[in-house]
Every structure is written in structure tokens, then in C-alpha cells.
Amino acid sequence: MARRVVSVALMLMVAWRGGSGNQPANLVTADSCSLEVDSVVLRFTQGNDGKERETGFRMDIDAGAGTGVSEDPLFTVYTCGTEDQPFDAHSTENVVLKPAPCYKGKYDLRALERSGGRIHIWPICYAPNSAGGVRYDQWDITSVVMTIYFRPSAGGSSPKPIGGPDGSLVWNMEGTNMLVLSSQLGNEADLYFDAKFNAEGK
């Protein structure tokens, strides 16, 4: 059975940087908050320097406007040591986040609609000189799109995003706004959105 999909596709803002190229935010209809979320897909577009196959990462979706790594994320993926997949320069790649096994709440949109939330990208874990003697990996990200997939449910109307023609919204981070993750710096990113799924700074 095909899963229902709603492109929340949030405008995402890197916590320590501004940005340009915002598009109007998408909103999710009220009936969507009662639907159980199956997964969250983040679509990344790489800049001039993609991700090496030896580089892993952890990404979380958290409720609220905290910072750093959460002990109680709603959705997560962790690939350090198991990634073995490069993201080529200028490519577009999908990363799938599944429900975090330790989360105590329900996997619907209510938590995010109450307090907003954030995407946290854990420092990438690249072993020095693991790729052809290169001392560190630099990963450029020029845009992010977020899509929420719901589990099928009996009855009820399908939630529909409000906004762009395809229900998607891209945050562009090209040029001076590009997000650069470096295994040498060990930096990490928080991308925030409010309870109405609008981007906001911190």
C-alpha cells in the first residue's frame, strides 16, 4: 500500500548564519496532526565538495528550540562507521530518518505543532587519511528539503501542504550562505522551524 506523503519542506535556517532565497512557508492542515508519521526524508544538494564514502553522520528531528545533540529525538539516523556511500559534488541525495526507538511520545505532528522543532546534524566522523591520504573531509551543502511521510490510515482526508505548486519548499544556502561541515573542525548544525513550520533564527 502506498504511503501518504506531505511535503512539509520547511524553510531551514542554519543557526549561526543568515540566508537568502526564502520562499513562503508551507503549512500543514489540521487533520494531519493525528496521522502517524512513518519517516522523515531530508534531501541534500551538495556544493563543490561532496561527502566521502568514509564519512558518517547522525541526524535528528527534535521538538523545541534547543541546541546540540538531544537525548530524546523524535526521528533519527546514525551512520558513523556504516555509511560507505559517497555524496558526489553537485549531487542531490536523500537521507531517511526513522522514529527514534527511545522516544516516549507519539510519532505525529502534535509535538512539532506545539513547540516547533529543529534538524540537528551531528559532527561527521571521518578517520583522518582514510580517503587516499586526505587529512579531513569537507562536506558542502547548498540546499535542504524536508518531506514527512505518513502511515496509511483508514478514512479521513489526506493532509495537503499549502504553498508551492508541488507542496515543496527549498532553503537555498548557496554562495556565502553555504553550510560547510568539516571533520577537521568537528562542527555541527541546527536548522530551526517554528510551530507553523516557518523558519526562524536563534
Residue 70 pLDDT exceeds 80: yes
Integer Cα distance of 109 and 18 in angstroms: 27
| More confidently predicted of 192 and 199 | 192
H or E element, residue 177: none
Integer Cα distance of 62 and 74 in angstroms: 6
| Cβ(104)–Cβ(122) below 8 Å | no
pTM: 0.79
Average pLDDT over residues 4-26: 39
Residue 52 pLDDT exceeds 60: yes
Residue 3 pLDDT exceeds 90: no
Residue 64 pLDDT exceeds 60: yes
| More confidently predicted of 117 and 20 | 117
Q: How many Cβ atoms sit within 10 Å of the Cβ of residue 149?
A: 15
Lowest mean pLDDT among 5-14, 29-38, 118-127, 187-196: 5-14
Residue 100 pLDDT exceeds 90: yes
The pLDDT confidence band at residue 105, using thresholds 50, 70 and 90, is confident
